[in-house]
Amino acid sequence: MRLPHLLDWLASAQPDVACLQETKTEDARFPLAEIEAAGYRLTPVEWDGGPARSWRVPGFAGTVGFITAVSHHFCGACDRLRLTADGFFVNCLYGEKTCDLKPLLRGGGSDEEIAAAIQTELDRKWEAHPDLTDGAIPVLGTMSQIGG
């Protein structure tokens, strides 16, 4: 779905939608020229600390957010963490499954041991991830598999 079509839908709907950037674009946020050419003007919404930078179209009920993981690295400020269905604590969608909490959670690990494992993973969080366009970092699976 092209972004102007998404904005057409937002005119009558009330959701807040976030779009994940998967490739580099000329505009560091998203192809705003395409959106403006369709007659829309975007007004920034105050940032809530999450990965998306949200915008509102005047008169629309919903907002549209752009997660610019490729062109604008925000890793150091990202507040999203995940516990996957198979027990891994993951600090980034593009990270690695290195912190397996399942043995601690199922095996009676103490609160201190669990907290230490989580802190170790938090300490590994990137300030900016490597270039995602070269295939260096695979996504851990589908969004439903990793809690996205």
DSSP assignment of 14-30, as one string? --EEEEE--S--SSSSS
What percentage of the chain reaches a pLDDT higher than 70?
66
CA dist 69 and 49 (Å) reads 14
Question: What pLDDT, on the 0 to 100 scale, is given for residue 1?
Answer: 44
CA dihedral 113, 145, 4, 22 (to 10 degrees): 70
Residue 75 CB coordination number (10 Å) = 16
DSSP label of 91:
S
Spell out the domain ranges in the chain.
3-67, 78-146
- 32-51 tens-digit pLDDT: 677 778 888 888 888 777 77
Question: What pLDDT, on the 0 to 100 scale, is given for residue 48?
Answer: 77
DSSP label of 113:
H
Structure-model confidence comparison of residues 2 and 23, the more confident one? 2
CB 30 within 8 A of CB 66: yes
